[in-house]
A and B are shown apart, each in its own frame.
Chain A
Amino acid sequence: MTQQTTGEGAGQPPYSYPDYRSTRLRAPKEPLVILPGALADASGPVYGHGRIGEADDDLTRQHDGEPLGERIIVTGRVLSGDGRPVRNSLVEVWQANAAGRYTHHNDQHPAPLDPNFSGAGRCLTDEEGRYRFVTVKPGAYPWKNHDNAWRPAHIHFSVFGSAFRSRLITQMYFPGDPLFEHDPIFRSVGDPGARRRLISRFDLETTEPEWALGYRFDIVLEGHNKTPFERPHA
């Protein structure tokens, strides 16, 4: 075990990225302590699945009325680094509404709240590692990071693998967004190939006629899938 200055896996953003202002006081400056895989993965917790409610995977059905916006289906697979499906694993998502506003009380962007949209969802992956959400396409929104700063439309994803280091929170973006080149959070991923892995693709196969556009977003977690996942709790 050695201490080194990077410890940053290829394709991952650094801790310190001054263009994203909030990293300045939060990025660790001391070198990381590098853990060998055998020690890092020795303890094997069963990650909390929780119970999934009926409309948890359909963010358009959580209220009495239909949310405003462009209805979309977002689906894909969660895979470990060795290409195996991550089964029965909890996927959590959250996002702004179609006008670019979160329901969170700290979001003061003067765009309308939608009484029929909370923007939070969850589901379990199936035997092939597949997840699926129905939602509306989130809007871009301003933030105070720099002059005229707007976030590209995105959906936050929280995903668990079979090991501590597989834990991932990321953001899914939409193809062709003109804000990519102006967004320091997206640009914090330096490698262009890795950046592309954050962008979903429009998928006609997922699209349903007369109803919703479909987007595919596959998620690959760090490490190998050595530990089979437990069956979900009933």
Chain B
Amino acid sequence: MSLEPTPSQTIGPFFHDALLGRDLTELVPPDEPGAVRITGVVYDGAGEPVTDAMVEISHSTPTGFRANPNSPDGGFSGWGRSGTVDGGRFSFVTSKPDPVLTPDGTRQAPHVDVLVFARGLLKPVATRLYFPDEEEANAADPVLASISTPVLRRTLVARNEGGALRFDVRLQGEGQTAFFGFE
């Protein structure tokens, strides 16, 4: 049986009470050894911060760390959610994922899946965050390799900024982030 999917519609401007009522930004405790803080700003085509967006991240479960006892889910879900109310800025604390092995044996560099929802986006944009200290793995990553221009490829690699990872998302215009569609 194959069913036609329900179409996507914009998240609109008024989702905050329903979706951001609980703090889902810390996937692991901030004092976890190896915890990584990720911050970034979502920008529109005029270079203005988007203050009514929602960012969700998900990634594979890394080995050998503990779940966040303070998380409302009572454990590690590999999933987090942040608003951008604060000047377009989103923020997460998570643990760096392991490389991902696909069933056909392809090895992907450690990465975090990122979805951005916003007023004015009729469907989310999907992208990936790669880690700047994984040059070798990134160079061999099949997804990064499939992106033809180095400029576009670089939009997926976070940079170090004051002990955190900085990952800005540009929805449109110069320096637009590489976004994914699915086969």
Contact = CB atoms under 8 A, between A and B. Distances in A.
Interface in B140-183: 142-143, 146-148, 152, 171-173, 176-183
Contacts of A24: 45, 120
Given A11-B4, A169-B11, A30 B18 contact: no
Contacts of B180: 7, 32-35, 40
B182 A37 contact: yes
Interface string B18-29: 110110100000
B122 A23 contact: yes
A208 B85 CA distance: 40
Interface string B36-59: 000000001110101000001011
A186 to B, nearest CB: 8
Interface in A17-56: 17, 20, 22-30, 32-40, 42-51
Given A26-B44, A169-B117, A195 B178 contact: no
B1 A83 contact: yes
B146 to A, nearest CB: 4
Interface string A76-110: 00010111000000001110100000111011000
A26 B176 contact: no
A39 B101 CA distance: 9
A14 B7 CA distance: 11
A102 B13 CA distance: 10
B100 interface: yes
A140 interface: no
Interface string B104-121: 101010000101011111
Contact of B122 (A32, A49, A79, A188): A188
B75 interface: yes
Contacts of B58: 43, 45, 47, 164
A34 B115 CA distance: 15
Given A13-B123, A120-B21, A83 B181 contact: no
Contacts of A43: 58-60, 78, 97, 100, 113
A222 B174 CA distance: 31
Given A30-B152, A167-B115, A198 B7 contact: yes
A230 to B, nearest CB: 9
A176 B117 CA distance: 28
A4 B117 CA distance: 22
Contact of A233 (B8, B75, B183): B75
Contact of B72 (A50, A106, A168): A50
Contacts of A165: 126, 182
Nearest to A28: B179
B73 A48 contact: yes
B67 to A, nearest CB: 11
A71 interface: no
**Which has the most chain A C-beta neighbours within 10 Å: B46, B61, B77, B182?**
B182
A127 interface: no
B64 interface: no
7 shortest interchain CB distances as A-B pairs: A7-B181, A22-B120, A45-B78, A94-B18, A83-B1, A1-B146, A120-B18
22 contacts: A11-B5, A12-B123, A13-B8, A14-B122, A27-B172, A34-B180, A34-B183, A39-B106, A46-B78, A48-B71, A48-B80, A82-B1, A82-B3, A83-B3, A106-B14, A120-B18, A158-B11, A165-B126, A165-B182, A168-B5, A185-B10, A189-B9
